[in-house]
Each structure stands twice: as C-alpha cells, then as structure tokens.
Amino acid sequence: MSFAMTIAPHLPYLRRFARALTGTQAGGDAYVAACLEAIIADQTIFDESLEPRVALYRVLIGIWDTIDINHRDGGPATPFERNLDAIMPRARQAFLLTTVEEFSISQAAEILNTDEDEVRSLIDEAGREIATQVSTNVLIIEDEAMIAMDLEALVTGLGHEVSGLARTHREAIAAARKRRPGLVLADIQLADGSSGLEAVNEMLDEIDVPVIFITAYPERLLTGERPEPAFLITKPFQTDTVKAIISQALFFDTRAGTQQKAAV
C-alpha cells in the first residue's frame, strides 16, 4: 500500500482535531496542510513503527509545537494568535485526543510524546478547567426527539441553560430571534428536509454565536474543500465528546470576546 493510501482514511479526522484545536476551519486545515508538507519533505518524521493514525497525529502535534500558522484572516498574527499554544495547553490536547478522537491513553501518550501517567494528569487538569467554564444558554436544533432530550440533559448537566429546542429551519430562526443563544448545537438534516447548515448560516447573518454541528457522516464535512464547520460531533456521540467540543467552542468564543474588549 502506498503512503498516500495509508494516511488518506485518517485525514478527515485529523482535520476535525486540528479545527477543534484552532477554533476555525482555516486554521485547522492550514495545520493539516503543513503536517502533510512536512512529511513529504522528510518522511522520516512519520514514525512507521507506530499505528498510521497515531503517527500522523504525532506529526501534527509536532507542527503545532514548532510553528504558528493559526491566523484567522490571513493577516499579521495578533498577540492572541502568537500565544495560542500558551492558552491551548496540552491538557486540552490530551482531552480532545481521548474523547473526540477516541485514542486510548497509551496512544495519546505516543502522540504527545509523554507517558500514560502524564496523559491522565492532563485529562484531569482539563476536566477541572472545563468545570470552571462560564455557563451560557444553548439553542438545540435537532429533529430526533430522543437525541434532543439527551442533548438537553447533557447541556444542563454541564451547568448551561437550554434556551430553545427546534426541529426545523423555521423553528430554529424563530428560537434564535426570541432569545439570542450563547451557543448553538445543530443537526445537519432537519425534520422538514431542510439543512441545519442553511438555518445556521441564516442565523449568523443576524447574530455572532459559536456553532457545533452534529452529523452521522462527519467525513462529508471534513474535506477541506469548501466552507465547513470548525466544530463537529459525530453521531452516535459520547458524553465526554460533547463536553469537550462545547468547551472548545466556548473557549474560543470567550477568548475572542476578550480580544475585542482589549482592542477597544
């Protein structure tokens, strides 16, 4: 099997991880591109003694630790962007690796170039950090009643408030206008046959809010070839996965708000 065929199945999920780390599609995809370019330039950095997916993520973390390419608008890096690694500690990397990407503790240790005890400590640290996160109100756009109920219970269990439940494009827009959400969880396919993407795009014309998309087919939204979500949860989802992605979305939204205030 060629090297390209070996890594190709893992690229969509590498994009998901990188986007969650940077908070944007552009930033995450830029890191993935840099990762691939580095491997092409020196294939020895891809450790063939490891599982291909583990080796690929390990190269990405190495790229993260050595270069700064997470520029949101393509312009000069702001102090916030230059110091992103400082405010995106390894604790969050470990948490995302084991929850969203579902690596084992030992695999995460290989990726982070550390030992298993350190990974466990990092995950505990991330859990404490998430527990202190400021609560917000969440709009859930989901047409399957049981999933909507599960999400509602999960969100409230994290200390957030559900501002509305919507099953269709029209209900989603009405709910957002009735009470502006601090976060949106949106399914891709809605009950009326409309797209959750379209509903969210219309919503974003009126308000600025972080959005997490939920889909059973994440690879369709992780190609890097068109505007795609920065935050993506795969159905069926685990509680810790939702917790991790909500934390990341609110983390970047809070940081962006802090930057805007500091610039005033």
What pLDDT digit, counting tens, does each position of 87-115 carry?
457 898 999 999 999 999 999 999 999 99
Burial class (CB in 10 A: 0-12, 13-18, 19+), 50: middle
Q: Any idea where the domains of the chain sit in the sequence?
A: 3-130, 135-263
Q: Residue 81: what pLDDT?
A: 47
What gap in Å lies between CA 120 and CA 124, rounded to an integer? 6
What pLDDT digit, counting tens, does each position of 137-177 carry?
999 999 899 999 999 999 999 889 999 999 999 999 999 99
Percent of the chain with pLDDT over 70: 87
Q: Which residues of 103-130 are buried (b: 16+ CB within 10 A; e: fewer)?
A: bebebbbbbbeeeeebbeebbebbeeeb
- Binned at pLDDT 50, 70 and 90, residue 76 comes out as very low
Q: Residue 79: what pLDDT?
A: 39
Query: Which CATH superfamily does the domain covering 3-130 fall into?
Result: PhyR, sigma-like (SL) domain (1.20.140.160)
What topology is assigned to 135-263 in CATH?
Rossmann fold (3.40.50)
Average pLDDT for residues 8-33, to the nearest whole number? 93
Q: Residue 59: what pLDDT?
A: 97
What pLDDT digit, counting tens, does each position of 183-209 carry?
999 998 887 788 888 899 999 999 999
Comparison of pLDDT for 199 and 2, the residue scoring more: 199
Q: Answer yes or no: is pLDDT of 75 > 50.
A: no
Closest of 20, 242, 250, 251 to residue 153, by C-alpha = 242
- Binned at pLDDT 50, 70 and 90, residue 67 comes out as low
Find the Cα–Cα–Cα–Cα dihedral 111, 216, 19, 34, rounded to 10°. Answer: 70
What pLDDT digit, counting tens, does each position of 209-243 carry?
999 999 888 888 888 877 788 999 998 888 889 98
Q: Residue 35: what pLDDT?
A: 95
Query: How high does pLDDT run on average in the chain?
Result: 85
- Binned at pLDDT 50, 70 and 90, residue 254 comes out as low
Residue appearing with tokens 């992103």: 84
- Binned at pLDDT 50, 70 and 90, residue 28 comes out as very high
Q: Answer yes or no: is pLDDT of 6 > 80.
A: yes
Average pLDDT for residues 53-82, to the nearest whole number? 68
The DSSP annotation for the chain comes to --HHHHHGGGHHHHHHHHHHHHSSHHHHHHHHHHHHHHHHH-GGGS-TTS-HHHHHHHHHHHHHHH-----SSSSSPPHHHHTHHHHS-HHHHHHHHHHTS---HHHHHHHHTS-HHHHHHHHHHHHHHHHTSPP-EEEEE-S-HHHHHHHHHHHHHTT-EEEEEESSHHHHHHHHHHS--SEEEEESB-TTS-BHHHHHHHHHTT----EEEEES-GGGG-SSSS---SSEEESS--HHHHHHHHHHHHHHHHHHHHHHHHH-
Sign of CA dihedral 29, 35, 39, 41: positive
Q: Answer yes or no: is pLDDT of 260 > 80.
A: no
What gap in Å lies between CA 113 and CA 91, rounded to an integer? 13
31 in Cβ contact with 61 (< 8 Å): no
**C-alpha separations of 252 from 92, 160, 210 in Å:** 12, 17, 9
